[in-house]
Structure 1
Amino acid sequence: MIESPRAGRLLALLPPVIAWLVSNLVTWLVAHASVAGDGSPVAYWSTAGRRRWDSEHYLSIARGGYEMFRCRERYANFPDVVCGNVAWFPGYPMAVRAVSGTGLSYELAAVVVTEAALLGMFAVLWWLLGGVATWSTGLTLAVGTVFPGGVYFHAVFPIALATLALLVCVAGLERGSWWTAAAGGFTAVACHPVGAVAVVLLLSSGLFAWRGDGWPLRWAKAGLAAAVAGGGVLWAKWLMWQATGRWDAYETIQRASYGQGDVRQPFAEMVRAYGVPFRTWYTPQGRLPWLVEHALAAHRPQLWLNAAFAVLVLATAAVLLVRGRRLSVAEWAALVLTVAVFLVPFVAGAQMSWYRNHAQMFVALVLVRRMSPWVQVPLLAACAVQYALLGAMFFAGVLV
């Protein structure tokens, strides 16, 4: 029996669709186990169950654009600092606004954008893995369904869209498509401050990408692509200037209201992030479900797991190089992004958000495919346990 090309393409899409469905199923089960009473399924299937602190800022940007004001102007008992939503980038809210044009509410449009981006993440990852079902690629997709911090791939946050953009940037480099790489970089930067790692990747791409070109052209492509990606910041600042009349709106609110904007000592910042007392600040009232009771400090093992994962990816690349095996362009790109994504939150001072920012290390799964099954299977088990713990913190309202 001859298989039609169309049927072959549909079968090729099946693994990422299955991974997306499994990811939703696992997350629903975690949500169900995290909220007591009859409302537990609603905590996942409702839009309210996927919204946390910053979600409201992204939704406000989608609805009405940017604003900045003195807090005392609206809240009499609030400290006299700067308030507003100019501390959040526009890529995700603008996508939400575009989808809301179909008639969906902004909240539902935000979930649609998030879930569509997650499906896109699995699709692009599958292409980068070669699109062939093996034990190695299957286990890699499985790790992706319970990736550390991946509960935010389902939340009203830009994490899924920003990660998809990074993967598109990697795919563009792998294909030798300058436009694809530059567009992915621009979108990553416009979605989230951690997206700045795309600029670092594209600047360094002259070392390992564009292999069909001479060195001058390789560096020209790298520099121009990085410049286009950096344009994501200019677009964000232009929108903020249009709304507030200030080019420094983002820097002002970060410095005045959040104590950020300077470069931090990363190891000291890790210690501070590890010690954040979520259990004390946000513990839910009443009798807690078993999973939540045992997950109130899950950000701490999360940091250990993230660090171990980054080291494991570095070790995998080192072993491959020592054995004389060349890394592909996509693997070099994933290596650069893994290191950069891990470090940026601690250099920038993301004490309260590093665990979701680190989810963008999802791009490292390109290198997880090269690991032995003896490494992949324990990694999958560790990620699954930690996914349940951090997910329980999220759905119980303990994480921000």
Structure 2
Amino acid sequence: MIRSLRPGRLRAALPAAVAWLVSNLVTWAVARASVAGDGSRVAYWSTAARRRWDSEHYLSIARGGYEMFRCRDRYPDFPDVTCGNVAWFPGYPMTVRAVSAAGPSYELSALLVTEAALLGMFAVLWWLLGAVLTRATGLTLAVAAVFPGGIYFHALFPLSLATLALLVCVAGLGRGSWRTAAAGGFAAVACHPVGAVAVVVLLASALFAWPGDTRPRRCAKALASAAVAGCGMLWAKWLMWQATGHWDAYETIQRSSYGQGDLRQPFAEMARAYAVPFRDWYTPKAPGGRLPWLVEHSLAAHRPEFWLNTAFVVLVAATAAVLLLRHRRLSVVEWAALVATVAVFLVPFVAGAQMSWYRNHAQMFVGLVLVARMSPWAQVPLLAACAVQYALLGAMFFSGVLV
């Protein structure tokens, strides 16, 4: 243990810590630029600035567990639909509950879990990049610090924890450890519905991972790790059943309250997501009618976010194609990152996530493994585009326009 903390190893880990710090500083600067017209400040370092609608549900699960009820039983004027918090997965709130047992409030515990997981994301990404600072890996870490949708990595949401778990799953495949891959997959699925892409990656690993094993053994490892990862969903449903008495509690609330639960036509769903009028629904009010410049120019930032995310997927896929043409192979980690990136992009549009796809897409962070293989002519424009978009989406977040 002491050996692992040698100064040389700590120096090797320093770029990941610096990237985490830069990400926080950039986000703090965006929060300050989202100053209200009355001169008040967004307290970025507080928990209040990090909370949005779904944060309340995660905190309620951490405090008291799951509940589901008929809305009109408590709110007579509410539509006759199902209410409760069973639409949100337990991985993050249960981790928050565990941390809060040491004394911090649930809100502070949620913030600690979020930021610790983000630091872990940078650390695992750095390990996947070889932990050697070059122009390519340095630019990749810079993109990571302002990754599209990454504003939610700082929010009281499970995105950083779920993304860390997905990266651990990929790292496990890279190390040839099906147990590590399965554990990461389990945590990814337990944290967030998009984490189900870990199951897809693990099933596909029979085609590109476990190179030293026979075909039957590769298939066995892929199936076993995918099965363990899928148990993350069973754990979530078991907790919901224990609290509500319904195995289908998650499906019930999704169908009743959110009109989800069925497969969607992805292109039609993309069009609906793109057309969401956040500007009309959630335009913040400012004394004198004067919004901060950044907020005023960010009220429809989800639209350039869509194009940037699409470009990111295309760049990742194109990079993989070029590597295959040049070298006739991709590494295990590169294959896993490619499959995960494409799957994360598609899942919200297949499952229906009209109001949350922009934060779900943040889990494409795993695709940064392939960004490190891009030419600087692609990396630098990508970094510039991500930095601008990060500021715009961040202003939407801190001004209360995003949910």
**TM-score range relative to shorter protein:** over 0.9
Identity of matched residues, %? 81
Q: Which ranges of structure 2 fall in alignment gaps of 5 or more residues? A: none
* Cα offset, 1:95, TM superposition: 0.4
**What amino acid maps onto 2:79 in structure 1?**
P
Q: Does 1:121 align with 2:121?
A: yes
Structure 1: distance between partners of 2:39 and 2:108? 22
After TM superposition, the structure 1 = structure 2 runs for residues 354-393 of structure 1, keeping only pairs within 5 Å, are: 354-393=357-396
After TM superposition, the structure 1 = structure 2 runs for residues 4-83 of structure 1, keeping only pairs within 5 Å, are: 6-36=6-36, 37-42=38-43, 44-83=44-83
Which residue number in structure 2 is paired with residue 86 of structure 1? Answer: 86
* Cα offset, 1:45, TM superposition: 1.1
Which residue number in structure 2 is paired with residue 270 of structure 1? Answer: 270
Which residue number in structure 1 is paired with residue 239 of structure 2? Answer: 239
Structure 1: distance between partners of 2:28 and 2:202? 37
Equivalenced residue count is 397
Preserved CA contact (<8 Å) 2:42 2:398: no
Q: Deviations over 1:270-306 (max 9, x none)?
A: 0000000000000001221000000000000000000
Which residue number in structure 2 is paired with residue 395 of structure 1? Answer: 398
* Cα offset, 1:39, TM superposition: 3.5
* Cα offset, 1:7, TM superposition: 0.8
Which residue number in structure 2 is paired with residue 348 of structure 1? Answer: 351
**What amino acid maps onto 2:214 in structure 1?**
G
Q: Deviations over 1:53-90 (max 9, x none)?
A: 00000000000000000101111110111000000000
Equivalent residue of 1:311, what SS?
Answer: helix
**What amino acid maps onto 2:379 in structure 1?**
Q
After TM superposition, the structure 1 = structure 2 runs for residues 175-324 of structure 1, keeping only pairs within 5 Å, are: 175-286=175-286, 287-324=290-327
Which residue number in structure 2 is paired with residue 141 of structure 1? Answer: 141
Equivalent residue of 2:83, what SS?
Answer: strand
Distance change (3 Å), C-alpha of 1:39 and 1:325: farther
Which residue number in structure 2 is paired with residue 100 of structure 1? Answer: 100
Two-structure CA RMSD over aligned residues (Å): 1.1
Q: Deviations over 1:158-188 (max 9, x none)?
A: 0000000000000000000111000000000
Structure 2: distance between partners of 1:288 and 1:38? 11
Distance change (3 Å), C-alpha of 1:263 and 1:295: same
Structure 1: distance between partners of 2:149 and 2:35? 19
**What amino acid maps onto 1:33 in structure 2?**
A
**What amino acid maps onto 2:358 in structure 1?**
Y
Which residue number in structure 2 is paired with residue 330 of structure 1? Answer: 333
* Cα offset, 1:8, TM superposition: 0.5
TM-score by length of 1: 0.98
Structure 1: distance between partners of 2:285 and 2:153? 27
Structure 2: distance between partners of 1:143 and 1:324? 25
* Cα offset, 1:35, TM superposition: 2.2
Structure 1: distance between partners of 2:228 and 2:87? 22
**What amino acid maps onto 1:356 in structure 2?**
R
Which residue number in structure 2 is paired with residue 168 of structure 1? Answer: 168
**What amino acid maps onto 1:373 in structure 2?**
P
**What amino acid maps onto 1:258 in structure 2?**
Y
**What amino acid maps onto 1:94 in structure 2?**
M
* Cα offset, 1:259, TM superposition: 0.1
Which residue number in structure 2 is paired with residue 112 of structure 1? Answer: 112
* Cα offset, 1:324, TM superposition: 2.4
**What amino acid maps onto 2:384 in structure 1?**
A
* Cα offset, 1:38, TM superposition: 4.7
Preserved CA contact (<8 Å) 2:83 2:257: yes
Structure 1: distance between partners of 2:39 and 2:100? 30
Equivalent residue of 2:75, what SS?
Answer: coil
